[in-house]
Amino acid sequence: MRPLLFLLPVLLVPVLAGAGETSAAHKKVAAEHGPALLQNYKEVGSPNAPITLEIYSDYSCPSCRNFYMQTYPALISEFVNTNRVRIIHRDFPLPQHPFSVLAARYANAAGEIGKYDVVFMQLFKTQPEWENNGAIEPEVAKVLSPSDLAKVRELVKVDPNLEKTVASDTRLANQDAVNQTPTMVLVRNGKREVIAPIPPYSVLKSYLDSVLAHR
Amino acid sequence: MNVSMKRILFLAARIVLGVVMIVAAYMKLRVSWLVFAGSISQYNLLPDNWLEPVARILPWFELALGVFLLAGVLTRWAGLLNSLLLGLFFGVMVRSYAAGLKIDCGCFGPGEALGPKTLIRDGSLLALSIGVTVAAFLARKKTSRGAPVRVGNTTVNAL
């Protein structure tokens, strides 16, 4: 038994070193950004909005790109900015897309330094450039300063929270029986309504208007 | 095949078709119309301002056809409309599948991808519906040509 005790430090060193590295990266980011180290970077809009839309998406999915390029900006300007709707982004990387998880790591790492919006939109915008070769970082570099990019790169390498975020979203997706992207879950009065496929904006607007009028 | 066997087959086909239409309608009506509007929009056939009225009305139309078929009321016309509707669905599905669209079928509510399985199923339903319609029209034709019709306890020749 005693020889095994000598082995314990050998086994623990890599684990502790990894934890130290992660915590150092976090501390560095937290020190430089202070309150900008956001916990709820995936949420947009007022927490008191009567409707919450949870959107499950995959960064490599073309329909998600269409949604974020066409429908999302209108939703933000007409419903989120008027405090009627809150949006929560959720990751649901599909197994057939090899670089979706990596893209989600970049977006979530950017979220940890307060740059989620700009990076996730850039990832959808430039999807055709990286979806086949996984060259995500050059696209992210176009919208971040060199120092922010360095922080994001560091977090992508070492931060285990990024995986937890994706795993937590995927767990929720399974509870909602999500089987395609994008999928929208409309939450109001504690009830969850799964909407997939998501219709065009004009139809969605008509539905949201009628729900808001009858609440 | 004797007459009673034909009648049994016709009755069974009518009931199957009626139940399928009612189930298809129920699966769409149990979720909000927005979900069905999303499914229809993926076929890229209708302008956006048609999606809401079609998504709201079509499931009720399917339900009415199913009820008529199941009850055996206005069977010829319900069968004819049903065949036209299923023919339209089938044509649209074949066109979309041939165009390589990876979309939701929308046939029995959300969550079913358009593929060979859905095409075979809808094609079979269309064939069944056409069969029921033709049988209903033929039965009517025979009756109106003078086949005996039972009225109360007596059998009389129809005019």
Domain boundaries, chain A: 2-36, 43-213
DSSP structure class, residue B31: S
Alpha-carbon span A172 to A91, nearest angstrom? 10
Contact: B38, A207; criterion CB under 8 Å: no
Higher per-residue confidence, A18 vs A65: A65
Q: What is the average per-residue pLDDT within B89-118?
A: 92
Contact: A202, B35; criterion CB under 8 Å: no
Contact: A200, B104; criterion CB under 8 Å: no
Spell out the long-range contacts of B2-9 with Cβ–Cβ below 8 A and sequence spacing 24 or more.
B6/B135
Q: What is chain B's mean pLDDT, rounded?
A: 89
Closest CA relative to residue A76, chosen from A189, A205, A203: A205
Q: What is the average per-residue pLDDT within B110-138?
A: 93
Report whether pLDDT(A164) > 90: no
DSSP structure class, residue B113: B
Question: Which residues of chain B are within 8 Å of residue A197 when distances are taken between CB atoms?
Answer: 38-39, 41-42, 103-104, 110
Per cent of chain B over pLDDT 90 is: 75
Question: Which residues of chain B are within 8 Å of residue A204 when distances are taken between CB atoms?
Answer: 34
Question: Residue A210's closest chain B neighbor by CA?
Answer: B34
What is the model's pLDDT at position A40?
A: 86
Question: Which residues of chain B are within 8 Å of residue A193 when distances are taken between CB atoms?
Answer: 31-32
> Per DSSP, what are the bridge partners of residue A8?
none
Identify which of A177, A180, A203 has the shortest CB distance to residue B34: A203
Question: Which residues of chain B are within 8 Å of residue A196 when distances are taken between CB atoms?
Answer: 35, 38, 104, 110-111
Per cent of chain A over pLDDT 70 is: 82
Q: How far is B34 from chain A (nearest CA, A)?
A: 7
Alpha-carbon span B96 to A80, nearest angstrom? 35
Domain boundaries, chain B: 3-157
What is the model's pLDDT at position B79?
A: 97
DSSP string, chain A: -HHHHHHHHHHHHHHHHHHHHHHHHHHHHHHHHGGGS-S-TTEES-TT-SEEEEEEE-TT-HHHHHIIIIIHHHHIIIIITTTSEEEEEEE---TT-TTHHHHHHHHHHHHHTT-HHHHHHHHHHTHHHHTTT---HHHHHTTS-HHHHHHHHHHHHH-HHHHHHHHHHHHHHHHTT--SSSEEEEEETTEEEEE-SPPPHHHHHHHHHHHHHT-
Q: How far is A197 from chain B (nearest CA, A)?
A: 5
Identify which of B31, B38, B111 has the shortest CB distance to residue A199: B38
Q: What are the structure tokens assigned to A114, written together? A: 């307060």
Q: What is chain A's mean pLDDT, rounded?
A: 85
Q: Assess if CATH 3.40.30.10 describes domain A43-213.
A: yes
pLDDT digits (tens, 9 = 90+) for A119-160: 999 999 999 999 999 999 999 999 999 999 999 999 999 888
What is the model's pLDDT at position B148?
A: 55
